[in-house]
Amino acid sequence: MPTTSAVSTASPAYWEPLWADGRRYRQLCEAEKQLMGEHLGPGGGRPALDIGSGDGSLARHLHHELGYRTTGVDCSPSAVAVATAHNSGTGPAPAWQCLDFTTGDLDTLRDPAYALITCRLVYRWMDEKAGFLGRVRRLLAPGGTFWVVTENAGRRTTTDPALLGLGIQLADAELLAAGWSVVRTADLDVLRCFALRP
Ligand SMILES: C[S@@+](CC[C@H](N)C(=O)[O-])C[C@H]1O[C@@H](n2cnc3c(N)ncnc32)[C@H](O)[C@@H]1O
For ligand 1, atom 27, which residue shows the shortest CA distance? 54
| pTM: predicted TM-score of the whole model, two decimal places | 0.95
The length of the chain in residues reads 198
**DSSP H helical ranges for the chain:** 12-20, 30-40, 57-60, 77-85, 129-139, 161-164, 170-177
Q: Is the CB of 119 under 6 A from ligand 1?
A: no
Nearest to 152 by CA among 118, 176, 117, 180: 176
- In CATH, the number for domain 30-197 is 3.40.50.150
Rounded to the nearest angstrom, the distance between the alpha carbon of 90 and the centre of ligand 1 is 27
Nearest CA to ligand 1 atom 11: 52
Report pLDDT digits (tens) over 7-63.
Answer: 999 999 999 999 999 999 999 999 999 999 999 989 999 999 999 999 999 999 999
The chain-wide mean pLDDT, for the chain, equals: 94
Atom of ligand 1 nearest to the CA of 25: 9
CA distance 130 to 111: 23
